[in-house]
């Protein structure tokens, strides 16, 4: 296994937009605020960043802009997955060329794949990459489940370093941890399971929550790794209502509303996503105020 890409919190960051395109001024402020709040890495143009509705030109420019803005202060992880593996290879090569530190590569969606197809697809992307890959398992969105034994086989590839596990199935994650220990890092892909996944040997989380509460999410992970499991657990439990609110509508609808309320651009999403329902947004903002946020 390659060296650990990050330990702690990587924010799966939203992409501020207007009807005219990406709002790079807001994006710059958001990236710098996240780093100032102590996050350990940033994921650009993933699910939360609406990577699937960025144009190819925008996707590439967002990655380049993030690298130039972050300036090596934390790892920049590029969302380069696709259901078109040739496109994923091309985008991965580009991300490597502009200085991204790692790739987050989701299982193929819609056309899906067999486990054999997943092995061949991830291998093709890894073969083309000069930077480590984080596999991304999120069957609720893709209809495709990356099984633990498949991960074990993929862990033999020198460029496949980790997995973001968002299946929500803690038994599957435990089996995965049992099989790949020492060969592949595991990150929680669900904000309500950060501490449970770390208890199985996970290295932290690729988080939506940290768009809103980066410092508190980092505190949860730092406490766990410092041996204060009780403190870490209490933060996890205290934040569950906010986590629930951030996922009461499909991600990143609530996250975009929250980040806009914090002053980082407009609450603008691209179809098929639409703005948050008013009653849900009111509840989300109230929970943010309970955490001391000025919204």
241 domain residue, yes or no: no
Instruction: Tell me the average pLDDT across 59-73.
Output: 98
283 domain residue, yes or no: no
* List 136, 187, 216, 256, catalytic entry: 136
Residue 19 has pLDDT above 80, yes or no: yes
Q: Could you confirm whether 136 is annotated as catalytic?
A: yes
Structural domains of the chain, count: 1
> Residue 211 sits in which domain range?
8-226
214 domain residue, yes or no: yes
pLDDT for 1 equals 55
293 domain residue, yes or no: no
Residue 163 has pLDDT above 70, yes or no: yes
pLDDT tens-digit series, residues 109-142 = 999 899 999 999 999 999 999 999 999 999 999 9
139 domain residue, yes or no: yes
Residue 35 corresponds to which tokens in the numbers above? 């780093």
Q: Could you confirm whether 216 is annotated as catalytic?
A: no
42 domain residue, yes or no: yes
Could you tell me the CATH number of the domain that includes residue 101? 3.20.20.70
pLDDT for 254 equals 98
242 domain residue, yes or no: no
pLDDT for 182 equals 87
178 contacts 19 by C-beta, under 8 angstroms = no
Residue 77 has pLDDT above 60, yes or no: yes
* Alpha helices (H) along the chain: 24-36, 56-70, 85-97, 115-128, 139-142, 148-154, 170-180, 194-199, 214-225, 229-238, 240-246, 253-261, 278-290
Share of the chain above pLDDT 70, in %: 99
* List 131, 164, 203, 216, catalytic entry: 164
Share of the chain above pLDDT 90, in %: 98
CA distance 114 to 123: 14
57 domain residue, yes or no: yes
pTM of the predicted model as reported, rounded to 2 decimal places: 0.97
Instruction: Tell me the average pLDDT across 173-178.
Output: 98
């Amino acid at each position: 296994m390659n060296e650990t890409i990050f330990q702690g919190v990587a924010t799966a960051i939203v992409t501020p937009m207007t009807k005219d395109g990406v709002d790079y001024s807001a994006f710059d402020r958001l990236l710098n605020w996240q780093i100032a709040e102590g996050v350990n890495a940033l994921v650009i143009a993933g699910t939360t960043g609406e990577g699937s509705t960025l144009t190819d030109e925008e996707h590439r420019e967002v990655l380049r802009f993030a690298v130039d803005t972050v300036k090596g202060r934390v790892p920049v992880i590029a969302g380069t997955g696709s259901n078109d593996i040739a496109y994923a290879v091309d985008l991965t090569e580009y991300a490597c060329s502009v200085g991204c530190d790692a790739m987050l590569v989701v299982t193929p969606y819609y056309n899906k794949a067999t486990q054999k197809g997943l092995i061949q697809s991830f291998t093709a992307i890894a073969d083309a990459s000069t930077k480590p890959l984080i596999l991304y398992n999120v069957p609720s969105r893709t209809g495709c489940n990356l099984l633990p034994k498949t991960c074990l086989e993929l862990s033999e590839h020198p460029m496949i370093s980790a997995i973001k596990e968002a299946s929500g199935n803690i038994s599957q994650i435990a089996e995965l941890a049992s099989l790949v220990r020492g060969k592949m890092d595991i990150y929680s892909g669900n904000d309500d399971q950060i501490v449970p996944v770390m208890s199985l040997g996970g290295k932290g989380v690729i988080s939506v929550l940290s768009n809103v509460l980066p410092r508190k999410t980092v505190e949860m992970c730092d406490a766990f790794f410092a041996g204060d499991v009780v403190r870490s657990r209490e933060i996890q439990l205290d934040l569950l209502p906010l986590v629930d609110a951030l996922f009461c509508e499909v991600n990143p609808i609530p996250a975009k509303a929250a980040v806009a309320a914090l002053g980082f651009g407009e609450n603008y999403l691209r179809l098929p996503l639409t703005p948050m329902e008013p009653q849900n947004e009111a509840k989300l903002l109230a929970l943010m105020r309970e955490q001391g946020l000025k919204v």
